[in-house]
Structure 1
Amino acid sequence: MKSYIPNFLTLLNVLSGCIATVFAVLNHLEWAALFVFIGIFFDFFDGLAARLLYVQSEIGVQLDSLADVITSGLVPGVVMFQLLSMAERGGWNLGFIGHDAEITLLPFVGFAITLASAYRLAKFNVDENQISSFVGLPTPANALLILSLPLILLYHNNDALNNIILNPWFLVILTVLSSYLLNSPIKLFALKFKNWSFKDNGIRYLFLIGSLVLLLTLRFLAIPVIILFYVLASLLMPSEK
């Protein structure tokens, strides 16, 4: 029976991603972000449960990536589509786009994130070297980066930030950068502790403490800063054998 627990948690990730997709399509991006966060929570604990219960399986690996395609791939693509649509219309709109609204080609650029995420997950499934580290930005981290943008718009209410985020050029450049980071050769550390010693996990502890401090002080604006911190910390971290 215990062998079903990790896969059940992964299916809850799938469900969270499906709900988030509905909210993203309806342009209720705050709720979409909430269910992506819930999905990433399940994504973390399904692997942890599998390791603790010693029930890792190939089907669990495949199911986990399929779940991530939805929660951390499709949803960020839809959110970027909506942000690019808002940028073209010149402002924030909480309503559904509607069939009678003019739809241009630019917002569809946002789905490059979905394509890059799917490709990154496919590579991850056949790469046996990504155990204690990742090659390229993990899809959940990228999803958090993209989902932080509407939350910054809603909760920080800063004109300068709003003008940057709703600038089409900024969103296109971020989409290209995001797609590159997902499939880049950059080696990034994983938050997997082989033991609890500070000597072996110093960067991980500093990252978690720094992230908590940033979240408490900068709120949602901390998320892009944390992702940048994650990349820089990984570049400074000694290679693990």
Structure 2
Amino acid sequence: MLKQIPNIITSLNILCGCVAILFAVSGDLISAAFFVFLGIFFDFFDGLAARLLKAQSEVGLQLDSLADVITSGVAPGIVMYQLLNLSFFGHMQTLTETFSSEGWNVGIKNYLPLIGLMIVIASAYRLAKFNVDTRQTSGFIGLPTPANTLLILSLPLILHFQYSELAESIILNKWFLIGMTLLSCILLNAEISLFALKFKTWDFKSNVVRYVFLILCVVLLVLLKFLAIPFIILLYILLSVFWKTPK
């Protein structure tokens, strides 16, 4: 039974992702973000539990990726779809409304928010590559899907909890959202080596980049709250690229 604990935790990630999708489809992006973050929390601890219990398995690896497709692929894709609906039409809508006869009369503009679903495809492709790429045992090649998800989900959280006219004008600009979608798809599959936040030992010397990153994350979150998340993702990429250290 103990050997199944990691898979149970992964299953909780799947459940959270499904609930997040239902909230996103209904237009409640804040509740969707909460369940996505909870799913990412379970995603972090299933691997930790597997290592502590020595319960790593091929089934667990595949289940983890399938969970990530849901929580860190489909959910952020639908959130971006709804943000693009807000940008284009001033309100969120369901896929039924998008493909309704009224939507057909609007023309191609009515279908442009579907661009957000490119995140789903790029995330699934990134996870498939991860499962067969032997270079990603101690680090990552391309932005991990949970990090990309945090970036996407930070947008509605900033709008809701740190609203300003400037934030709204930027985040709900259709070109910004389309650019963010394309950029996230590129980053997910880019040939960029990024460090993992997995501590094999706790000594400072071999984990200096991880400790520096975590300290800066705490400082940014305290100062900027949800607005810190895009800066944290940027910091993660920059530290990985320019601070060469053992992974």
Specify the TM-score bucket, using the shorter chain as the normaliser: over 0.9
Alpha-carbon distance in 2 for matches of 1:131, 1:237:
19
Matched, 1:52 2:58: no
Equivalent residue, structure 2, for 1:214 = 220
The number of equivalent residue pairs is 239
Matched, 1:143 2:143: no
1:179 maps to a residue whose letter is C
Matched, 1:35 2:35: yes
Alpha-carbon distance in 2 for matches of 1:88, 1:95:
11
Structure 2 residue corresponding to 1:187, chosen from 181, 184, 193? 193
Equivalent residue, structure 2, for 1:68 = 68
1:70-91 CA-partner distances (Å, limit 9, x unpaired):
00000010000000010001x4
- Structure 1 residue 213, shift from structure 2 partner: 1.1
Partner SS for 1:240: coil
Alpha-carbon distance in 2 for matches of 1:26, 1:35:
14
Equivalent residue, structure 1, for 2:107 = none
Equivalent residue, structure 2, for 1:78 = 78
Equivalent residue, structure 2, for 1:2 = 2
Which consecutive residues of structure 1, in runs of 5 or more, have no partner in the other structure? none
- Structure 1 residue 102, shift from structure 2 partner: 3.5
Structure 2 residue corresponding to 1:163, chosen from 155, 165, 169? 169
Equivalent residue, structure 2, for 1:16 = 16
- Structure 1 residue 132, shift from structure 2 partner: 1.4
1:8-29 CA-partner distances (Å, limit 9, x unpaired):
0000000000000000000100
- Structure 1 residue 107, shift from structure 2 partner: 0.3
CA contact (8 A) 1:132 1:240 kept: no
Alpha-carbon distance in 1 for matches of 2:212, 2:168:
31
TM-score normalised over the length of structure 1: 0.95
CA contact (8 A) 1:84 1:107 kept: yes
Alpha-carbon distance in 1 for matches of 2:49, 2:136:
19
1:116-169 CA-partner distances (Å, limit 9, x unpaired):
000000000011221211000000000000000000111111101110000000
TM-score normalised over the length of structure 2: 0.93
Partner SS for 2:160: helix
Once the two structures are superposed, the pairs formed by residues 78-97 of structure 1 within 5 Å of their partners are 78-89=78-89, 91=90, 93=91
Partner SS for 1:102: helix
Matched, 1:109 2:115: yes
Alpha-carbon distance in 2 for matches of 1:210, 1:97:
40
Identity %: 59
Higher helix share: 2
1:13-67 CA-partner distances (Å, limit 9, x unpaired):
0000000000000010000000000000000000000001111000000000000
Structure 2 residue corresponding to 1:152, chosen from 130, 139, 158? 158
